[in-house]
Structure 1
Amino acid sequence: MPDAPGASLSIWREPVRDDWIDYNGHLSEPWYVLVMGHATDAVMDAVGLGPEYQAAHDSSLYTVEAHVRYLDEIRAGFELEVRSSIIGVAPKLLWIWHELWADGRLRATEEILGVHVTGGSSSRLPDDVLTRARSACIPPPPEAGRRIGPVPPL
């Protein structure tokens, strides 16, 4: 659990693979999401929703909405670090905030809304998971909750 306001619940590290580099010479957009998906798995483990829980209860966290901001390019050879926090909790929902860092700079963020699902239907998170998630929850950063603005008329 975080030990200070703004501290990360979990940190996921992963190197950039050469085959993730696109024709522009930087990390292609689907790989940002893949790496932050691995970070979501680490958050699930941290709050008690890991593989053992999933197998025992036919339950998991499903992403129902995500918003990615690509802030800076990432080149081959970088080590990626995703700092993850829980920014909201409801009986069936977790809001997760990921910050993807490389070479000491923030490169991307992803905001995830996850719903707890059991046997194919939304369900209440277990009380122990809710307790852990609430104790780890931090205030959302100002960038959370943003959306792409309206499309201008043609």
Structure 2
Amino acid sequence: MTDAATQTPGPVRDPEPGTGPLPLFEQTVRPEWIDYNGHMSEAFYVLVFGHATDEMMNAVGLGPAYRERSGCSLYTVEAHVRYLDEVAEGTPLTVRTRVLGVDGKKLRFAHEMSAEDRTVATSELFALHVGAAGSTPFPPEVRDRLAGLVEEPPAWAGRAIAPVPAPA
């Protein structure tokens, strides 16, 4: 496990993309992530999900060396986060990432954050593969790797925020 807040940059190289499922991302809740209610602040759920996205990118061939060489990356254009349970300082977190769909330059994926065998948050994201000139198709080897990872969406994916009526 690496901690981006304390990690020293090394040479830019990517791990060899694997052929198995995406790796789990693990992180422990840090003291500075605790809010005025005594639990992990909502911004840090998103930070942990962001680190899990980085791990997914590394696993499919979109890591630092790819970004440096190609000038391309993922750009999140939509995200839906559900905060399901409180998390205390020192709690070990595990994030499972699922690829839900890939087409051309588009990627839909989801993260499920667990603590002590309970789901504490989910995040569903829609991202574009982008370069200096705007959005661009994934390289064939990355597209094929992502396509091979596509899973059925979990029951919670695809939801919208429930409407709240305006006062009469």
Aligned to 1:10, the other structure's residue is in SS state: coil
1:120-152, Cα deviation, whole Å (9 max, x unpaired) = 400001100010000011011111111112231
Q: Which has the higher contact order (CA 8 A, sep 6+)?
A: 1
CA distance in 2, matches of 1:49, 1:77: 31
1:29-49, Cα deviation, whole Å (9 max, x unpaired) = 000000000000011111111
Write out aligned runs for 1:59-98 (5 A).
59-98=72-111
CA distance in 1, matches of 2:111, 2:19: 14
Aligned residue identity for 1:147? A
Change (3 A) 1:120 1:35: farther
Q: Which runs of 4+ in 1 moved over 2 A?
A: none
Matched, 1:110 2:123: yes
CA distance in 2, matches of 1:114, 1:10: 19
Aligned to 1:41, the other structure's residue is in SS state: helix
CA distance in 2, matches of 1:87, 1:54: 23
CA distance in 1, matches of 2:53, 2:118: 20
CA distance in 2, matches of 1:46, 1:99: 17
CA distance in 2, matches of 1:50, 1:153: 45
1:38 is matched with which residue?
51
Aligned residue identity for 1:54? R
Unaligned runs of 5+ in 1: none
1:3-52, Cα deviation, whole Å (9 max, x unpaired) = 5xxxx522111110011111111000000000000000011111111110
2:19–2:145: 8 Å Cα contact kept in structure 1? Answer: no
2:149 to 114, 136, 143: 136
How many residue pairs get aligned? The number is 150
CA distance in 1, matches of 2:163, 2:117: 33
Matched, 1:124 2:118: no
CA distance in 2, matches of 1:90, 1:149: 28
1:9–1:84: 8 Å Cα contact kept in structure 2? Answer: yes
Aligned to 2:24, the other structure's residue is in SS state: strand
CA distance in 2, matches of 1:135, 1:36: 22
CA distance in 2, matches of 1:89, 1:130: 7
Aligned to 2:146, the other structure's residue is in SS state: helix
Give the alignment's TM-score, normalised by structure 1.
Answer: 0.93
Identity of aligned residues (%): 49
CA distance in 2, matches of 1:120, 1:107: 38
2:13 is matched with which residue?
none
